Structure 1
């Protein structure tokens, strides 16, 4: 009997481009933005970029939060795209084998690197020094629950996982009524953020709710792109999601809405970039080149490992090869390690996940035959 296979989804070219771009924006923030600060050095290229591009446009954190916001939009888009054809079990298995193998390996490597860094007299928490819970880090829930993180970018992983949990709970509603599903999540976000004033609500929960509206913008873009909703509905949900994000930030992080912070502007920029990519790839057939494909493939592992690796090498190599040399060395080492993790950790783990789904599908098909029913095609 032929096994029932999990749905296969073709690579969406503009999503592949956006994934590579978002990763490189965050990498620039940490690999080339952080060392000059911690080493108390001036880096002319970075200063020129800030003076003539970032500051005039109001782009904050050396592209860092902009890159994270694009990642959140991608997640809202892709999780909706795949979730529409997945069961809860399939959704859960795929995310577990997508997220955790590389995350656990990164936690282990960062802890080992932190111990070595301490022996060399380093103190920077970006290397994982001073972490309080390896278990929470490996589970992806150390942000806000642990006093000091192993992985400094782990706060975004926590929010991603929180979004996945919401989607698992609402998967039937997602398939039945996209509009009701998105509206339900936005109401949950507003109530979750407002609940931060209650003494028995952990502040981290409200913190996570505050960022979920960005994912909903990605969902609304997907439903319009897939012709499931009209443009007016997509625009309405985009505006409602942005408004909910601003409300949640006003309640949970009022400091991030100060005129000098410009967090709201980064969301607007990210949405503009997302829509521009859809338009560009839509008006003409475009196939991404090998560089974009490479960085899209390694984006998750590179996102996880680049900060501790690059900061450690900046401290270690700066006295010998200078600031630029140490930053370039950090970038090269991070890319090399991320490729190794993608090839020998991520891909095999996802293959195992697919095999488990295949075995489960065969088992369900066998049960139906025993009961006198035919397996579904």
Structure 2
């Protein structure tokens, strides 16, 4: 799901960081002058274009499409949940159920975009910058969403999902860490499972960021991660499997390769990397198709699934190569800002709303009303939680990392 970017998705085409020059700026440093980097850049390395490229607004829109796809899967595609639509969403909304049955593929699109924007947002930054950007982007809205979802489930007449018990205090507090699954606790909202996948990506990518992101290092990272994913599949080693996430790593790696195309220009190596990831993703979705067929109540088509995956690769790739640079609709920025909050609140809270509203309205009208309310709730989270608290958290972390650097320098001199 990040699904996450730092406020918006911007092209770094004019950023002055050359790909093989390790930028050592701190949280409070300004970017190195383009003239200085130009003098120190090896001429054999690919270099970004000098002109400033337009904002990649289409990626904001694709993120909202991914969120709405996942929402359609939970709200209409899954059959048999008795507390929502009495387990009869297919009978009430046959077209919606047919489309929603493939909505879970929005997660794959999320991960593709995430690989692109995470690499973009931390290029030329220190490890402290990278950690700060991820914490301030993910946690403020998440903490509030966990508390609100816990309150809704506590007072709801019945609990649906994986378990049938009211959330306990320990479960709620563990969920605030964003890591309940590794320690044996269930998510307050079951859609939060994707956040653990994102965290694994951040940990792996953070190792490279600690040494400074360069074109070559990022390429090596992608190759090593791809090889480790294949080893995880063949060995079945649980720890390796949990760390590299071989079912989803291909989307992150392809997203990173698309960013390198966007910043430095396409070449055969990058196209080959994307093609390899696309082929491996088609291999891994076979099991996901089988697993999600049970939720959909009928056998899903591998061909349709493969077509959606291919379209996702094509859309992100076309965006990276500038095919949609002229699309600069301002509402896409708003759409991007609502995506993450919408994802956080749409499932359990949405189920409670659907159960109540569907008593008075037909199926599609119920979905429309609940979606409007959920978008309003997402805007409130963005406006009154993310916008005011993320900068406060960023300043606190900036001071913390500055103190770490200062103390480290004193210790080194001693």
TM-score range relative to shorter protein = 0.7 to 0.9
Greater helix share, 1 or 2? 1
Asked if the contact 1:32/1:46 (under 8 Å) is kept, the reply is yes
Map 1:118-137 → 2, pairs under 5 A = 120=157, 122-125=158-161, 133-137=171-175
2:223 is matched with 183
Shift of 1:339: 0.9
Aligned to 2:262: 225
1:47 matched residue in structure 2: 94
Counterparts of 2:117 and 2:385, CA distance in 1: 22
Q: Secondary structure at the match of 2:245?
A: helix
Unaligned runs of 5+ in 1: 55-60, 371-377
Mean alpha-carbon deviation: is it higher for 300-309 or for 17-26?
17-26
Counterpart of 2:40 in structure 1 is none
1:262-318 alpha-carbon deviations (Å, 9 max, x no partner)? 354442221123234456x6365221232x222211110111101112110111222
CA distance 1:136–1:362, shift in 2 (3 Å): closer
Question: How far has the Cα of 1:236 moved from its partner?
Answer: 0.7
CA contact 1:210–1:245 (8 Å) conserved in 2: yes
TM-score norm. by structure 1 comes to 0.78
Residues 262-273 of structure 1: pairs in structure 2 closer than 5 A: 262=302, 263-273=305-315
- Residue in 2 that maps onto 1:241: 277
Shift of 1:176: 5.1
Question: Which of 289, 311, 316 is equivalent to 2:330?
Answer: 289
Cα distance, 1:173 vs structure 2? 6.5
What whole-Å deviation, never above 9, does each CA across 1:307-339 have from its counterpart, x for those lacking one?
Answer: 112110111222233433432332122112111
Partner of 1:212: 249
Q: 2:316 aligns with which of 233, 257, 274?
A: 274
**Within 2, Cα distance between the matches of 1:368 and 1:208?**
34
In the alignment, structure 2 segments of 5+ residues that lack a partner are 1-26, 32-51, 294-298
Instruction: Look up the SS of the partner of 2:358 in the other structure.
Output: helix
Cα gap change, 1:282 to 1:357, in 2 (>3 Å) = farther
Normalising by structure 2, what TM-score?
A: 0.72
Count of residues paired in the alignment: 350
The answer to whether the 8 Å contact 1:23/1:299 transfers is yes
Q: Structure 1 residue 14 and structure 2 residue 58: aligned?
A: yes
CA RMSD in angstroms comes to 3.8
